[in-house]
Amino acid sequence: MQASWKIPALSALAGAAIAIAVIYGAALTGAFPQNGDAIRTYLLNHPEIVADAGDKFQQEQDALDDRTRQSAVSRMGEKTFFSPSLAFVTGPAHARATFVEFFDYNCPHCRASVAAVQRFYAKHKGDTRFAFIEFPIQGPQSIIAARAALAARRQPDKYLAFHFALMTEDGPVDEETVFEDAAKVGLDIGKLKTDMADPKIDETITQTMSLAKKADINGTPEFIVDGKSWEGEVDDKRLNQMMKASVSHS
């Protein structure tokens, strides 16, 4: 499983809890002594058992999550993710290849992926339909950044430059950073602030959150390439693998 930011991030703790429960269950069947102190001593002397069981649980849970998400995405259909009211959509309208990204500007794994995404976009913007979808799950600063990006869509020739400027920041993307980057890419700041105050911007965020929930997407970055769901960081190699796999999938 590639690295991603998830809500809530409790699966590792759940895995450890399951591992301990399994070991106690084994004790009841005679595989371990039933004495509580003996079990505790055994676990302390063999911590790798809990770690291995937790890893196995996590792998199985990730695989289940992937299947569930793919089923939801397939059921909803690709066109659902290319609604201009929810996504910034660009590229040929009738392109055979499609690329969707759900992201948060403060997600470290989204930022780790941005260089590869930029290169992919530059290479394929003439033959692929792209949809960039705001999914601000890391708190108030991310909400502000998402609202600014949505408002920037009303100055459409500036959106992508603004998007990549925010995504390539090193520190937190807060309100100050948002307006600094907006000025750098030539956005009309007065119009941006006015548009950010439009209630329709918040409605769009609510709708994208609902879209993600219906698609069983609970982490960033999430990519949908030619209808196939992929979660986690990408680099050039993985993007190429995703494209090849999507051809096989179709």
Residues 196-246 pLDDT 10s: 999 999 999 999 999 999 999 999 999 999 999 999 999 999 998 898 876
Q: What is the reported pLDDT for 44?
A: 74
| CA–CA gap between residue 152 and residue 224 (Å, rounded) | 23
List beta partners, residue 103.
134
165 and 177 Cβ atoms separated by less than 8 Å:
no
Torsion of CA 90, 202, 219, 141, to 10 degrees: 110
- The structure tokens listed for 97 are 């290849």
Q: What is the model's pLDDT at position 226?
A: 94
Residues 54, 14: contact at Cβ < 8 Å? no
CATH class of the domain at 79-249:
alpha beta
Domain ranges of the chain: 6-76, 79-249
* Model confidence at 189: pLDDT above 80: yes
pLDDT band at 16 (very low <50, low <70, confident <90, very high): low
State yes or no: cis peptide before 136, omega within 30 of 0.
Answer: no
CA dihedral 174, 169, 186, 140 (to 10 degrees): -20
Lowest mean per-residue pLDDT among 1-15, 96-110, 157-171, 186-200: 1-15
The model's pLDDT over 120-156, given as tens digits with 9 standing for 90+, comes to 999 999 999 999 999 999 999 999 999 999 999 999 8
Alpha-carbon distance of 248 to 168, in angstroms, equals 32
Q: What is the pLDDT of residues 17-76, one digit of tens each?
A: 555 555 555 555 555 555 667 766 776 777 776 666 666 655 666 666 778 889 999 999
pTM of the model: 0.79
76-88 pLDDT tens trace: 999 999 999 999 9
What span, in angstroms and rounded, lies between the C-alpha atoms of 234 and 1? Answer: 11
In the predicted structure, residue 5 carries a pLDDT above the cut 90: no
| Pairwise CA distance, residues 109 & 177, whole Å | 19
Residue 10 pLDDT > 50: no
Hey, what are 119's tokens?
A: 């290169």
What is the average pLDDT across 158-180?
Answer: 97
